[in-house]
Amino acid sequence: MPELIEESMVVLDLAADDKDAAVRVLAERLAAAGRVTDVEQFLADVRAREQVMATGLEGGIGIPHARSIAVTAASLAFGRSPARVDFGASDGPADLIFLIAAPAEGGAEHMTILASLARRLVHGSFRESLRSLSGAAEVAALINREVGA
């Protein structure tokens, strides 16, 4: 099983005006890494999930996610947005954005990743490391160590 996130799936200067643009950038990274076979299908699945409930969390965090037939392996892409992107959190837009992609039949795996990530994000030290690390490889290693199953 591949690692949850690879260096190529980390965007440290995510330039996006809104959540759709931010999710597209991250989805394209997943596609380039061979984790998503059809970007448009995956984006439609993420948008459908977003319509059910906002995926913004307090503290500047966005966690868009979806199960999709276009996903080949449970994966996570990460973006750090200096401009911040609105994912519907009560305290405002997010600068830390995690895109969780899970295969359509991977329901339990999807929830495991989401729960593990949420448990880590309550720790200020984890959030601060994500905001301060300067290299994509360092960020990927941190996320795999802290969140990876």
Residues 6+ apart with CB under 8 A from 130: 78, 80, 96, 139, 142, 143
Residues 6+ apart with CB under 8 A from 14: 22, 25, 26, 79, 80, 81, 82, 85, 97
Is there a catalytic annotation at residue 65? yes
Nearest to 106 by CA among 76, 69, 55: 69
CA distance 56 to 134: 24
Residue 98 is classified by DSSP as: E
| CA distance between the termini of the chain | 10
CA distance 75 to 33: 10
Task: Kindly name the residue from 29, 35, 65, 110 that is annotated as catalytic.
Answer: 65
CA distance 146 to 46: 24
Q: Which residues are catalytic?
A: 65
